[in-house]
Amino acid sequence: MEFIKENIKNVLGWRTKRKIVVFSVDDYGNVRLASPTARRKLDEAGLKIQNRFDALDSLENREDLEQLFDALTSVKDKNNRNAVFTPFSMSCNIDFDTMKAENYQRYVPELLTTTFQKVSAEDPKQYEGTWSLVKQGIESRIFIPQYHGREHLNLKVFEEKLKKRDAELITCLENKSYTSISNSGYTSISYTAAFDFDDVKENDKLQEIAQDGLACFEKVYGYKSVHFNAPGGRESSIIHKCLLDKGIKYIDAPWIKREHTGHGKYKTIIYHTGKKNKLGQLIIVRNVVFEPTDNRGFDWVNHTLRQIDVAFSWNKPAVISSHRVNFCGHIDPANRSNGISALRILLKEIVKRWPDVEFREAHELGRLIA
């Protein structure tokens, strides 16, 4: 059944004889779990680990990027170019310090650059020099962020919990984290999904957040983002116009998307790479998955190679979906070791099996299709 799905999702869409590989990796720039100490304190307070993100996902540190960049530069494609990550990144985080000083009366964001300044001062062993590495990755064209959202939280849920002095939320904020929260209170909203909503009218506010986040992205990185992927991939198409107005030309979408229309009602949309929405923005569908630290009982490298082979057999680019948590070692260095090791093997196998492979940024693929 899985093999049939892998083929079906490659039937429609843009085709090329070129062997193009894209790595689209979500969640960079996001503070989820601050430290091993924070995780221990959350455990003691009864906040449960519901998934590997709760257990392991943390802001990328110096060693995360050093090891990642070493893996990416360990191979070259037919054009003598290294492998490249397109990290879909947040431009802001929670300003934990200001919120604490104000006794958690309101939500306060801070720019990602400020976040890195703070963690570098608080934990130089882990974080000193990390932001310089990010900039080096951009200059070397191996790590080129695009827009994931302003912050990786649903502000409606956050503010409602804050008003109620929700014990789980306050415990997280006290530990400079935002994870392991048990319930959003809405069937259609995940507490980490920035663009989820209950009533469709809430998209008015979400559009403001999206545009502010893009302005913050430009302040942080020094260039405008042209490619967007929502946290969880569940944004309404209503917000695409405001994204277009701010320069977003390419949008990631799942092959089959259940788009929320309000109050728990959904419509199903079928997407394929190369399709354009009503505004002319180009859709890119991730047709390969690589989550090496997600133990599902199979070998991730072989699983991913098979998906790439299927994509190439249909003359499709291989757009590989992954998450930062696979390459994080701040909470558990063994997690990073396992993820980076698998990435190294995958990259070496890709260039071995397909000597004519081309590594591309996600928005480079969009430009090529357009």
* Per-block mean pLDDT, blocks of 10 residues, the chain (370 long): 84 96 98 98 97 98 98 98 98 98 98 98 98 98 98 98 98 98 93 98 98 98 98 94 98 96 96 97 98 96 98 98 98 98 98 98 97
- Would you state the pLDDT for residue 86? 98
- Would you state the pLDDT for residue 183? 87
- Would you state the pLDDT for residue 157? 98
- Would you state the pLDDT for residue 1? 74
- Would you state the pLDDT for residue 333? 98
Angstrom CA distances, 196 to 66, 312, 344, stand at 34, 34, 35
CATH superfamily of domain region 2-91+110-150+200-369: Glycoside hydrolase/deacetylase (3.20.20.370)
- Would you state the pLDDT for residue 3? 73
Domain borders along the chain are: 2-91+110-150+200-369
Q: Is the separation of the CB atoms in 111 and 102 below 8 Å?
A: no
Q: Is the separation of the CB atoms in 217 and 225 below 8 Å?
A: yes
Backbone angles phi, psi at 106, to 5 degrees: -150, 160
- Would you state the pLDDT for residue 357? 98
Report how far residue 98's alpha carbon sits from residue 118's, in angstroms, rounded to the nearest whole number.
12
Q: What is the DSSP string of 48-98?
A: ---SHHHHH-----HHHHHHHHHHHTT-B-TTS-B--EEEEEESEEE-HHH
